[in-house]
């Protein structure tokens, strides 16, 4: 218990010294969007549909830091009540000012609370956001179990944890700084780390990696400290990640950066081996991609608490009864050249543009197809699978 308390205190001291993330405070709505913080977008991505009506929505930002994600959660879910918890009182003070200045302070509550004590909130949440937190806990499994205990049935959780192989050089520099810095003196650790990067040989592997991958982010001391001076970090492989998930009792719903996890990205030039890889169990497919492309620095994914509902949209009757709704998580609309939910370029055909224009949730897919003779169910499904439009189920609500 003393060891656990010492780690928790050390993490708290780091973030009181360097509140994180260090994004500046601004007035009004935060710029752009992150679809992972829009509950309807996350629900559609993870389960393939959205309810036509939402009951009262409670969102937990578990390990909210300075409230950057909390602010987006409140703005992207304008009827939700949002709760943010964190260990650092310094970070929470900034978070409180952030949401007040952005205009959502009346729907956001902050509590200084250890993540493993989240049951003290005495409520359940339909959506939990936990980004960059579990891997800093003394016992991440206990932390995820605690969050699972306050996730409502049918609710979703978005999680982000570090990946082992892509952070290999980071871990080595962490070790070097830890061996040299005065214990618990994080400012001295930042100074030391910057001196090491400045004076090690230019072709040193750690220096090259920092220069190529992280230097722009690490201009700010808070970001540098979070990466290199952190007193607690547990990194994951695919295997240990799925061990963590299995212990929670929650259901894995997919990685939220799916482009990385496409076998074709790596094996398309080798069709015979691509076909062999497709026959592997899904976790082994993930392990194969991790082995072939170890650049991945983090895992980001969705979990859900059963019971969870999915629909087979290959059923033409079910598809035609759904109501298509254009996703708000795109840029450039109206128009044929867009940036999609993941800020990737999309060029629409005239028929696709017309389908999206009429996808307001007011009519069914059947009505839309009747009004557009050139449109087909396959085109609707293509837009749905690319997250450009959502399919609503009128009788369902959460």
- What is residue 341's predicted lDDT score, i.e. its pLDDT? 94
- What is residue 351's predicted lDDT score, i.e. its pLDDT? 96
Torsion of CA 82, 220, 160, 105, to 10 degrees: 0
Checking 199-203 for CB contacts under 8 A at 24+ apart, the result is none
3 state SS of 136: helix
Band of residue 261 on the pLDDT scale cut at 50, 70, 90: very high
- What is residue 395's predicted lDDT score, i.e. its pLDDT? 55
Q: How far is CA 168 from CA 40, 172, 227, 248, 334, in A?
A: 36, 7, 12, 27, 44
State how far the Cα of 95 lies from the Cα of 83, in Å rounded to an integer.
11
Residue 396 has pLDDT above 70, yes or no: no
Q: Provide the whole-model pTM.
A: 0.96
**What is the mean predicted confidence (pLDDT) over 305-313?**
95
Which of the 8 DSSP states describes residue 259? G
Task: Summarize pLDDT for 148-157 with one digit per residue, the tens.
Answer: 999 999 999 9
Residue 397 has pLDDT above 80, yes or no: no
Are 381 and 388 within 8 A, CB to CB? no
Residue 119 has pLDDT above 60, yes or no: yes
Are 25 and 97 within 8 A, CB to CB? yes
State how far the Cα of 143 lies from the Cα of 134, in Å rounded to an integer.
7
Residue 294 has pLDDT above 60, yes or no: yes
Residue 159 has pLDDT above 90, yes or no: yes
Task: Summarize pLDDT for 37-66 with one digit per residue, the tens.
Answer: 999 999 999 999 999 888 889 999 999 999
């Amino acid at each position: 218990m003393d060891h656990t308390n010492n780690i928790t205190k050390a993490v708290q001291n780091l973030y009181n010294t360097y509140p994180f993330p260090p994004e500046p405070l601004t007035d009004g709505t935060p710029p752009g969007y992150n679809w992972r913080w829009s509950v309807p977008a996350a629900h559609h991505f993870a389960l393939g549909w959205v309810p036509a009506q939402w009951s009262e929505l409670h969102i937990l930002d578990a390990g909210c830091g300075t409230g950057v994600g909390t602010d987006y959660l409140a703005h992207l879910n304008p009827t939700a009540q949002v709760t943010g918890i964190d260990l650092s009182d310094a970070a929470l003070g900034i978070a409180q000012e952030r949401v007040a200045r952005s205009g959502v302070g009346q729907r956001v509550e902050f509590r200084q609370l250890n993540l493993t004590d989240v049951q003290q909130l005495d409520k359940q949440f339909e959506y939990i956001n936990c980004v960059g937190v579990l891997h800093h806990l003394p016992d991440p499994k206990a932390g995820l179990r605690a969050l699972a205990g306050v996730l409502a049935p049918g609710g979703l959780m978005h999680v982000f944890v570090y990946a082992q192989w892509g952070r290999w050089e980071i871990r080595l520099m962490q070790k070097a700084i830890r061996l040299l810095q005065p214990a618990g003196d994080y400012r001295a650790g930042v100074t030391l780390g910057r001196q090491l990067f400045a004076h090690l040989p230019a072709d040193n592997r750690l220096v090259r990696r920092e220069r190529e991958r992280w230097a722009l982010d690490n201009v700010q001391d808070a970001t540098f400290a979070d990466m290199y001076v952190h007193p607690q970090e547990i990194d994951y492989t695919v295997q240990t990640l799925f061990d963590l998930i299995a212990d929670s009792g929650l259901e894995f719903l997919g990685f939220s950066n799916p482009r990385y996890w496409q076998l074709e990205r790596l094996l398309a030039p080798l069709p015979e081996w691509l076909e062999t890889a497709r026959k592997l169990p899904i976790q082994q497919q993930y392990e194969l991609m991790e082995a072939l492309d170890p650049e991945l620095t983090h895992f980001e994914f969705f979990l859900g608490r059963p019971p969870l509902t999915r629909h087979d949209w290959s059923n033409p009757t079910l598809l035609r009864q759904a109501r298509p709704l254009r996703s708000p998580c795109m840029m450039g609309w109206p128009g044929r050249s867009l940036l999609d939910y993941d800020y990737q370029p999309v060029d629409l055909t005239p028929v696709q543009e017309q389908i999206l224009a009429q996808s307001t949730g007011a009519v069914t897919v059947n009505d839309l197809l009747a009004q557009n003779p050139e449109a087909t169910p396959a085109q609707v499904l293509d837009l749905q699978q690319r997250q450009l439009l959502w399919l609503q189920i009128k009788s369902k609500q959460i």
